[in-house]
Structure 1
């Protein structure tokens, strides 16, 4: 019997199995997750290793640790699986006009409740399209569209310049206000608060979600202590607890400023004004699919654009 070739064994199912082993950390754990016996998982991994003539997992301990060759295969395998999904999506687009999956990247300054209302309305008209929403921050929001990880990005802070296949339009202006908890030491300082005074206190910063490079950093001073959080909502929570200071989107901070749970402070750094936009992939020769067209039609409405920046309602932090 002929030895299987790489083309024989590098199937989507095999790549998914390898991903499961790497994530689970052992063949036994992967077998439980997949509903298989451990020997079946071991056999399928060895088939791939024999076909590639490379060891993919280090079996020196009880843990299944990826070798360098295994890590490279999974990196490329993830890209290949993404391409398979993209092909399936394009085929379905040709047949029906609707995407099989639509991914919307949402910067965490955008109103989550408004996005959810749009998602609810979308799923009512497109129940067979899988909708995926993903949180992003700063330059990472636009990066998802540029790199093909999302079809639409809401709340981008940068222009896509001349990136092929990416288009953008303005979403609106968002004002940021410097605010602290009433029990924070900065709340008692006379105004205007100087940079020298602020530098003595921890600032709360939201980490840029861009996958490559250092990303953007806003409002930090050299030598200042920093608490880094993943989302704007987490930044709000941290500042309500007095864990640090910093600028917050005024619409997000507004109810807490009105009730006194946050105190605005005038500093020598003026309140920031960010011009936000949205960007999308134009779909090439096929143009935007029906799902993306639906979202773009909603964004044509000034009321929708305003709600995405202003309407922070729903469950608020306690």
Structure 2
């Protein structure tokens, strides 16, 4: 490319950087959503000529027509307009996220500690990712994760004031606040080369009777959930591993030693690497949940709410008394 061509492109980019504003992007996004200058003006509390002027300025700045203007009809985006709309959507979404994180950081003390206790495999698959996200969103917060040996131990840590948050298997005990609930969907997983994937639905149920199966330890709620499913669909399970942790079950499946019904959050990375594949089955996925508990009769610290917001999972916020069950 010639020096003149590079300089021209550089000048054009600099003009864009100097002239393009978030206000213009928001106006254009609103116009695209509203469909007409009149509707956009009403939504933005501006006059129609003011909206038209902003759009004309954008077109001059970009050197492209953004709208196919038709008298009395909805204004349609041109190819350049669709490209700008995608850019506006992305930038404004990032702006909103930046604003949220900035507000979170402004409300956090320069140095604080958050102690999170958990009795589940969420430590490896969710909490570690949240700790990493907290280092970006709130570097002044020191997050301490503790692995409790049981749900009762997790609850006791909260009750005695030794933890700020607890992530425990649902349902939560009475008397505690529930900052949120995490819904988990459980599918049957196999290695991609397992013969079950080549069978139809009825044949898969018959195949299960002879296949090795890894599952949760006897007495665990998840084990009971799986056994109810097996009884409902008429599936026989030849159990070769009973475990209180997901890691052993997951390893059995990735090594081709068994099939297992696992929550999707612990299989995401293995699926990406081609080590696991979900097997469609009648009655699946099963749904189980975890609760994010707060100590009884204590105000929830702001950094605890920030931590819940950065969890890499769908969290339904409730902040209501937990129900017993």
Report the TM-score range of the alignment, normalised by the length of the smaller protein.
0.3 to 0.5
The structure with more radius of gyration? 2
